[in-house]
Structure 1
Amino acid sequence: MAFMDKMKRGFGSTFSFFGDAWSELRKVKWPSRKELTSYTLVVMGTVAFVTLYFYVLDLGISELIRLVIE
């Protein structure tokens, strides 16, 4: 009987967790379409910049290593 009581308490807390999470999600201020678009563009621009930076850095280091080896 103790096992079944533990199971009931475990599932009860799981359902309670999801209920609490759902109520917290209702309190969130979701971004508007315009805000979301601008945030997405900022992220994509940042990713492109960082990618280009590391690409150039990698080319430079590769060239230095090539010069040292030869």
Structure 2
Amino acid sequence: MFKFLKDVNREMQKVSWPKSNELSKYTVIVLLTVLFVAVFFTVVDLGISQVLEML
């Protein structure tokens, strides 16, 4: 168990962590993408519902 944790620690030190400004940029991109997908599927769902109500 301790060897595993040592190995994990060693590997985590090799990770290239994003800088603060990169992290902020990536966070905004992810949030905008999620918002776009949510709006897109809401519009598609409402459109399909309207088409089915007409039938």
TM-score bucket (shorter structure)? over 0.9
Q: 1-side partners of 2:53 and 2:2: how far apart?
A: 61
The number of equivalent residue pairs is: 55
- Looking at structure 2, the residues matched to 25 and 66 of structure 1 have their Cα atoms a distance apart, in angstroms, of 55
Three-state SS of the structure 2 residue aligned to 1:41 is: helix
- Fraction of identical pairs, as percent: 44
Whether 1:60 and 2:47 are equivalent positions in the alignment is yes
- Length-normalised TM-score, structure 2: 0.94
Give the TM-score of the pair, scaled to structure 1.
Answer: 0.75
Work out which of the residue numbers 29, 32, 36 in structure 2 matches 1:49.
36
Shift in Å at residue 35 of structure 1?
A: 0.2
Higher-Rg member (1/2)? 1
In structure 1, list runs of 5 or more residues that go unmatched.
Answer: 1-13
Unaligned 5+ segments in structure 2 are none
Runs of 4+ with >2 A deviation:
none
